[in-house]
């Protein structure tokens, strides 16, 4: 059977040629060869001609290098007997392995910036903004070293019924801001917001309390970063209602259970004020959230040595890795993805917002696994670098500096580390939140007032959401990090579920049971800019990665013994420049085929990330039990199914006497001598089936399962 790829080793000579199968119809043909690749300067996919039309073979290279890998096209110009010309395009892939069979050593890259260069140590601001109440009187205030808070006389009494209680809450709030932001500013090197840079105390504005810049009721809840017109200018600041303010009372934790969450959320909004004044990442709304939660988490990790619990939305990228990196609101109800600046998300009918996102995944922009990996790969200074130099899109700006291949490698490394939870000190934090939402059913978050959300509400989506209608009432989907693939042709190739195959920069993670010393899996891309690799983690936590391939065979040494006998195949789309709606709506396709040492795909709803635990897959145990029975010499009943021969060639059709068994009741498996499942499917209506064309010479087991019965045959393929 024709395959659309070739795999070679570095240094090999690659010669390309074509053969006309029907020379009677087309006695003459010429071919033109092209390479398809992403042009980083033009920011688009291009096709470069390598040779004009010619009937001779084409030498692509005398000595193949990794850079020769990728996607190619041959255009065939076929001329029939009547001199009528027909042209046809065929696409294929080339992979060049420079370190085949060796474990991959991930490269590191240098992106770094220190804001101290631009903002040397600033003096403590001395001025206080002149915030007024609606009646023209001066606002109530509490002033700290770098931060201040303002509220009016109409403050909701939940904060306090007496001046002392309110003032204590204000003092606690300002002290927390001063404490956390002093570390962000003085030790991590981030600049303060514009107020502080111009000599004013940064500030929190309590809306609904009677201040002059808003008309909210004192029962309105919420909190967010906004701007306030004061002292002749708009200044970024934190706008908060009475609700989070009240959680700074001395007795807050005796009165309410959400104190820590609300207090940390207020710091989150203060970080937004810093970002707002950096004038960066304007086309990357997702990074204003993910970059924010990363920075806040780093404060507690570096200052306090606490790699604490990840945020509840941090599990999204792990439980749905098919979602793009630069994604706002996640996997939308039509199967597309929200763009970097929420493209495709906002929809209205009669002035009412329509819910287009799914519960839990709709908050994926708050997740921070990607900046965590980028900081590991490119250095701690890489996140400040992004906020200094990225004016629009994050990945595109990184790619402009790192280079095309390096940027794709960063994406691959992120997805591979994600598969193993290989995230430095954050391994257990991310694994814990992933585990908390593993198996969660996602669907439209709001459907005519019914909320399907899991966990905390997403900030900024609460107003009016109780009456929100959904766009599409999608079928429920149960979350797992792992992708299912099913055999879909006679050659043993397996196809992914098209519902969740990768979006741009997205990935699929396929768990595979293995046996022996080496595991092999073949990868056949059916789309552009795709890569794949194998990886595993041992029971003691060691991580191993294979070389990355464009196509063809992936091989990994498993003598280190993967935990629970399971490795992962990671398939990645490496596109890093957002190009619009067509890309946002596309899912990238591929095929996999198990080779020597790779026995069967594993149950996607088993928590394989718990490498330190002993886990079992009942379906696999049943399969292995069947293989053991075969190897112990089981033979079919004399009155059962009969195969008409015992010697076959690869790709040949096997005739079977079903002896009255209904063909629709039969499940067929072809198993190699080492236990590799080479094919898994059904017989034809007449009982026949086709052997995979890629079978190597040797002994194979044909296993028929039907009506709680197994019948096996040993055959020779040659």
Query: Distance (Å, rounded) from C-alpha 486 to C-alpha 563?
Result: 24
pLDDT at 305: 80
For residue 253, the tally of other CB atoms under 10 A from its CB is: 13
pLDDT at 641: 87
Return the CATH class of domain 5-97. Answer: mainly beta
Of residues 686 and 318, the one with the higher pLDDT is: 318
| Residue 4 scores a pLDDT above 90 | no
Which of the four pLDDT bands, split at 50, 70 and 90, describes residue 22? confident
| Residue 463 scores a pLDDT above 50 | no
pLDDT at 455: 37
- Non-local (6+) Cβ contacts of 714 within 8 A are 630, 646, 699, 700, 701, 702
pLDDT at 639: 66
Q: Which of 646, 143, 710, 260 is nearest to 151 (CA)?
A: 143
Q: What 3-state class would DSSP assign to 455?
A: coil
Query: Distance (Å, rounded) from C-alpha 166 to C-alpha 246?
Result: 8
**Gyration radius from the chain CA atoms:** 30
Give the residue-averaged pLDDT of 445-472: 58
Query: Distance (Å, rounded) from C-alpha 503 to C-alpha 411?
Result: 13
Question: In this structure, which CATH number among 1.10.10, 3.30.110, 3.40.50, 2.60.120 belongs to the domain 477-615?
Answer: 2.60.120
How far is residue 377 from each of residues 68, 337, 417, 447, 642, measured CA to CA in Å?
A: 25, 26, 11, 41, 58
Give the residue-averaged pLDDT of 639-652: 82
DSSP-derived secondary structure letter, 310: P
Sequence ranges of the domains in the chain: 5-97, 116-278, 477-615, 620-717
Q: Are 30 and 572 in contact (CB under 8 A)?
A: no
What phi and psi, each to the nearest 5 degrees, are found at residue 478?
Answer: -95, 125
For residue 324, the tally of other CB atoms under 10 A from its CB is: 28
- Least confident among 506-515, 551-560, 706-715: 706-715
For residue 232, the tally of other CB atoms under 10 A from its CB is: 6
Element (H, E) at 234: strand 233-240
| Residue 648 scores a pLDDT above 50 | yes
pLDDT at 680: 84
| Residue 306 scores a pLDDT above 90 | no
Average confidence score pLDDT of the chain = 91
Query: Distance (Å, rounded) from C-alpha 309 to C-alpha 313?
Result: 11
- Non-local (6+) Cβ contacts of 145 within 8 A are 124, 178, 182
How far is residue 474 from each of residues 332, 333, 357, measured CA to CA in Å?
A: 10, 6, 10
- Non-local (6+) Cβ contacts of 179 within 8 A are none
Same fold, 477-615 and 620-717: no
Q: Which of 28, 32, 3 is nearest to 16 (CA)?
A: 32
Question: In this structure, which CATH number among 1.10.1660.10, 2.60.40.1220, 3.50.30.30, 3.30.420.40 belongs to the domain 620-717?
Answer: 2.60.40.1220
What phi and psi, each to the nearest 5 degrees, are found at residue 176?
Answer: -65, -45
**Which pLDDT tens digit goes with each residue over 527-557?**
999 999 999 999 999 999 999 999 999 999 9
Which of the four pLDDT bands, split at 50, 70 and 90, describes residue 461? very low
pLDDT at 462: 40
pLDDT at 458: 34
pLDDT at 531: 98
**Which pLDDT tens digit goes with each residue over 476-489?**
999 999 999 998 87
Q: Which of 423, 585, 592 is nearest to 493 (CA)?
A: 592
Give the residue-averaged pLDDT of 583-591: 98
**Which pLDDT tens digit goes with each residue over 655-669?**
898 888 999 999 888
pLDDT at 629: 53
**Which pLDDT tens digit goes with each residue over 200-226?**
999 999 999 999 999 999 999 999 999
Which of the four pLDDT bands, split at 50, 70 and 90, describes residue 626? low
Q: Which of 487, 492, 489 is nearest to 694 (CA)?
A: 492
pLDDT at 450: 60
Q: Which of 417, 382, 412, 414 is nearest to 398 (CA)?
A: 382
How far is residue 362 from each of residues 196, 245, 251, 528, measured CA to CA in Å?
A: 34, 27, 34, 27
Of residues 420 and 638, the one with the higher pLDDT is: 420
Give the residue-averaged pLDDT of 315-335: 98
- In sequence order, the β-bridge partners of residue 49 are 34
Q: Global pTM? A: 0.85
| Residue 14 scores a pLDDT above 70 | yes
> Pairing between strand 44-54 and 58-61?
unpaired
Cα dihedral 609/612/614/617 (nearest 10): 10
| Residue 627 scores a pLDDT above 80 | no
Cα dihedral 452/458/464/469 (nearest 10): -40
Give the residue-averaged pLDDT of 681-699: 85
- Least confident among 265-274, 460-469, 577-586, 641-650: 460-469
Of residues 356 and 713, the one with the higher pLDDT is: 356
Q: Residue 707, class by beta-carbon neighbours within 10 Å (0-12 exposed, 13-18 middle, 19+ buried)?
A: exposed
Which of the four pLDDT bands, split at 50, 70 and 90, describes residue 308? low
């Amino acid at each position: 059977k024709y395959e659309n790829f070739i795999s070679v080793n570095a240094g090999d000579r690659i010669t390309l040629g074509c053969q006309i199968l029907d020379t009677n119809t087309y006695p003459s043909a010429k071919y033109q060869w092209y390479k398809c690749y992403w042009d980083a300067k033009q920011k688009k996919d291009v096709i470069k001609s390598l040779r004009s039309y010619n009937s001779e073979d084409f030498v692509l290279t005398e000595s193949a290098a990794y850079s020769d890998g990728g996607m190619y096209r041959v255009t065939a110009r076929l001329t029939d007997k009547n001199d009528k010309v027909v042209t046809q395009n065929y696409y294929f892939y080339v992979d060049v392995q420079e370190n085949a069979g060796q474990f991959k050593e991930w490269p590191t890259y240098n992106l770094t910036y220190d804001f101290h260069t631009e903002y040397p140590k600033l003096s403590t601001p001395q001025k206080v903004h002149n915030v007024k109440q609606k009646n023209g009187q001066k606002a109530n205030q509490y002033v700290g070293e770098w931060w201040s808070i303002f509220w009016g006389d109409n403050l909701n009494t939940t904060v306090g019924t007496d001046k002392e209680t309110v003032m204590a809450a204000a003092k606690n709030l300002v002290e927390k801001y001063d404490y956390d932001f002093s570390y962000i500013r003085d030790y991590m090197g981030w600049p303060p917001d514009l107020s502080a840079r111009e000599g004013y105390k940064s500030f929190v504005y309590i809306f609904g309390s009677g201040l002059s810049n808003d008309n909210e009721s004192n029962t309105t809840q919420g909190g967010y970063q906004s701007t306030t017109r004061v002292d002749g200018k708009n200044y970024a600041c934190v706008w908060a209602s009475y609700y989070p303010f009240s959680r700074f009372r001395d007795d807050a934790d005796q009165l309410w259970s959400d104190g820590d969450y609300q207090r940390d959320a207020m710091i989150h909004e203060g970080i937004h004020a810093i970002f707002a004044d950096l004038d960066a990442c304007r086309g990357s709304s997702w990074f204003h959230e993910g970059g924010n939660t990363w920075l806040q988490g780093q404060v507690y990790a570096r200052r306090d040595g606490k790699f604490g619990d990840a945020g509840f939305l941090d599990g999204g990228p792990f439980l749905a890795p098919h979602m793009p990196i630069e994604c706002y609101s996640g996997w939308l109800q039509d199967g597309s993805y929200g763009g970097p600046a929420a493209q495709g998300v906002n929809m209205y009918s009669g002035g009412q917002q329509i819910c287009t996102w799914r519960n839990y995944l709709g908050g994926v922009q708050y997740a921070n696994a990607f900046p965590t990996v980028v900081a590991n790969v490119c250095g701690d200074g890489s996140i400040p670098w992004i906020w200094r130099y990225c004016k629009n899109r994050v990945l595109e700006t990184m790619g402009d500096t790192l280079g095309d291949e390096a940027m794709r490698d960063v994406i691959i490394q992120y997805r591979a580390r994600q598969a193993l939870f290989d995230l430095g000190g954050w391994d257990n934090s991310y694994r814990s939140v992933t585990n908390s939402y593993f198996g969660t059913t996602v669907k439209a978050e709001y459907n005519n007032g019914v909320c399907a959300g899991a966990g905390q509400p997403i900030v900024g989506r609460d107003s009016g959401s109780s009456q929100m209608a959904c766009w599409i009432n999608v079928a429920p989907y149960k979350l797992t990090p792992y992708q299912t693939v099913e055999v879909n042709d006679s050659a043993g190739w397996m196809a992914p579920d098209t519902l969740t195959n990768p979006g741009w920069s997205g990935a699929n993670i396929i768990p595979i049971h293995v046996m022996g010393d080496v595991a092999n899996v073949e990868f056949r891309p059916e789309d552009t800019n795709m890569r794949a690799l194998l990886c595993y983690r041992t029971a003691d936590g060691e991580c191993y990665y294979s070389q990355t391939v464009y196509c063809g065979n992936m091989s990994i040494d498993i003598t280190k013994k993967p935990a629970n006998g399971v490795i992962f195949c990671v398939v990645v789309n490496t596109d890093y420049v957002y190009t619009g709606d067509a890309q946002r709506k596309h899912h990238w396709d591929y095929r996999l085929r198990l080779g020597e040492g790779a026995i069967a795909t594993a149950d996607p709803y088993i928590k394989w990330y718990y490498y330190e635990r002993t886990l079992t897959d009942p379906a696999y145990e049943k399969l292995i039990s069947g293989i053991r029975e075969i190897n112990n010499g089981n033979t079919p009943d004399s009155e059962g199914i009969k195969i008409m021969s015992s010697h076959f060639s690869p790709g040949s059709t096997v005739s079977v006497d079903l002896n009255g068994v209904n063909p629709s009741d039969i499940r067929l498996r072809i198993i190699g001598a080492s236990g590799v499942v080479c094919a898994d499917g059904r017989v034809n209506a007449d009982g026949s089936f086709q052997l995979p064309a890629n079978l190597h010479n040797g002994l194979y087991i044909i296993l028929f399962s039907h009506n709680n019965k197994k019948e096996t045959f040993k055959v020779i393929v040659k």
